[in-house]
Structures are given as structure tokens and as C-alpha cells.
Amino acid sequence: MAELFESVNWALIAPLIVIQLILQVVALIDWFRIERTNGPKIMWLFIILLLNMIGPILYFVIGRRQE
Amino acid sequence: MQFLTVFKREMLESGRNFKWIWVPLVFILLGLSDPLSTYYLPQIIESVGGLPEGASFEIPTPPPHDVLMMSLAQFSQLGVLVIALMSMGLIAGERKSGVAELVLVKPVKYSTYVSAKWAATSVLVLVSLFAGLLASWYYVNLLFGNISFSNLLATWFFYGLWLLFVISISVFMNSLFKVPGLVGFMTIVLVILTSIMTTVLDHILDWSPAKLSPYIRMMLSEGTISGDLWATALITIGISIGLLAAAIYTFRTKEMA
């Protein structure tokens, strides 16, 4: 695994991590502001925080209540 | 002018929903993932695969346009899913909550209302697709080899038509059903059906919208835009307009209750 870490050019991977972070932060901001979500609100916090990449997307697609 | 008003309201709404942030980002992620994972495939196999000692096999590096096509395949699966889920509440949600009635009580034509919503979604999706393709193109150029920018623009144009077709299906479904979940489900079913029909009736349906991707692949590898691609593009535009007209018609004849 250590070899893999060294062989990876991090400049290439950085954009992925940045995008993932932006998605997560935006989802969190929205999570704080929104009143109710589909399903328990606290559940969505864990989904956003724990599931990489997919978590925030799931939140935006399914979790946000269409008023 | 009414068109612009509804269009602007829809844009504002997408901004408030953060759609203008997350949809482009998702497309960029989808576009990046394939060039990167293809490039690092040997290392990934080496580190996770329990290959026997001394075993080695060469993985040929795919040509640049194949990698770009992998990203397109990604857009066709997850991208279409995101579009269907994102647009399922477009009109259905507003009818359910009664917002649609508030809008249509004013002298706004049904056709204006439907087409403005379609246009707003289309702009968002086309911009997102461009961002995703640009990301993929940049990485392909960096890691695999050259694809000209004009080829990228052509890919964007023709593939965009396929996504507009998907949005048109979604708008049509929005006019048929009032439950957003059902709208999303039926949209995906219809898109999958189109692909299956095209595969099964390959010899008859030469210009089916689902054929856009194979023709784009041909365009990228051969460097010329074939007549088939133009014909398919025209058919796709035609069907999309037809779907929109059908949506406006069902919307008008149906009771708004």
C-alpha cells in the first residue's frame, strides 16, 4: 500500500479531493439551514459526513424535501 | 417576456437549491473518475490483486478517445440517473404543492410554463456536461494523448442532444404523473427502453437517439462527422420537440387539481 501511495501523483488526485470537500461543505451548510428532510434529519448528517462522494449527492437528490 | 420571467424564476430556484453547485460538481467527478482510474489501473491491480509471484500481464494503454468515451458512458449511466432524479419534481412537485396553480392563475400560458422549465433545466445540464467533459478532456490530454478542442466541442454538442432528449422525457413524464418518485422512475425506464430497443432492433433503428454515442465514438476515432451522426442528431431534436409538445398538450387537457 505504501508503494501505491508513493507512486500516485497527488497533484492529479487533488481536484477530486477538493470537489469532494466542496460538496460535503455545501451539503452541510444546507443541512443546517433546512427545516426538515426526507426521513430523520440526524440520519442525513451521518450520511453526508461518513459516505465519501456519494453521501452529499444522495442528500441533495433524495434528502432535500421538495417543498 | 413571460418566458423570461418563468425562466429566471426557475434559475433562481435552482440556485437556491444548490443545484448550480452540485450538478456541475457531480459531472466533473464523473468525468475525472475514468481517466484517473484507467491511468492508475496497473498500480491498483498490483496493490489489491492477489497475483501470484512473478505473474505479469501487460495492460495496453487505451487510445485517448476511448478514455473520453468511458467518461461519456459514465454520464450515460450515473449522469442520466442524476438528471432524472433532479428533474422529477420539476413540475410534478409544484403541482403537488400547489405552486403551479399559483403561477398559472396569472396569465401565463401552459406552453410558456413548460418550455421555460425545460429550458432552465437544459441550461443547467448543458453547462454541467461541459464542465464534466472539460475535466475529462484535460485529464485525457495530460495522461493519455491529444484530443483536439474542436472534437471536444463536437462531442459536447452531440452528446448534449442526448441529455436534452432525457430532459424532454422527464418533462413529458412530469405532465403525466403527479408523484415525483414515479416521474423519476418512468423517465429512467423509458431511457433504458430506448437503449434496449436500439440494441435489439439495431438493423432497423439506424438513427435512434441512443445511437448518438456510438456515432460520436466513430467521429472521435475517424475525425469526421458522418452523415449518420447528423441524421441521428436531427431525429433526436425532432423527438425532443415532439415530447415537449405532447407534454404541453397533456398538461393543458388535464385538470389541474
- Whether residue A7 lies inside any domain: the answer is no
- Whether residue A52 lies inside any domain: the answer is yes
Q: Which residues of B72-98 are buried (b: 16+ CB within 10 A; e: fewer)?
A: bebbbebbbbbbbbbbbbbbbbbbeee
Interface contact A8-B40, CB threshold 8 A: yes
Q: What are the pLDDT digits (tens) for B7-65?
A: 999 999 888 888 999 999 999 999 999 999 998 888 777 777 666 767 666 778 889 98
Flag whether residue A34 sits within 8 Å of chain B, measured between CB atoms.
no
- Looking at the structure of chain A, the number of domains it has is 1
Report pLDDT for B186. 95
Flag whether residue A28 sits within 8 Å of chain B, measured between CB atoms.
no
Interface contact A16-B29, CB threshold 8 A: yes
Report pLDDT for B158. 96
On average, the pLDDT of chain A sits at 84
Q: Which residues of B touch A15 (CB under 8 A)?
A: 28, 32, 135
pLDDT at A28 over 50: yes
pLDDT at B106 over 90: no
- Whether residue A1 lies inside any domain: the answer is no
The whole-angstrom separation of Cα B102 and Cα B19 is 23
Q: Domain-by-domain residue ranges, chain B? A: 2-253
Interface contact B180-A66, CB threshold 8 A: yes
Counting one residue from chain A and one from chain B, the pairs whose CB atoms sit within 8 A come to 58
Chosen from A22, A37, A57, A62 to mutate, greatest number of chain B CBs within 10 A: A57
Interface contact A57-B180, CB threshold 8 A: no
pLDDT at B155 over 60: yes
Q: What is the ipTM of this complex?
A: 0.86
Chosen from A32, A60, A62 to mutate, greatest number of chain B CBs within 10 A: A60
- Whether residue A33 lies inside any domain: the answer is yes
B237 falls in which pLDDT band (50, 70, 90)?
very high
- Whether residue A41 lies inside any domain: the answer is yes
Q: How distant is the Cα of B96 from the closest Cα of chain A, in angstroms?
A: 9
pLDDT at B257 over 60: no
- In terms of residues, how long is chain A? 67
Supply the range of the domain harboring residue A43. 15-63
- Whether residue A36 lies inside any domain: the answer is yes
Q: What are the pLDDT digits (tens) for B17-27?
A: 889 999 999 99
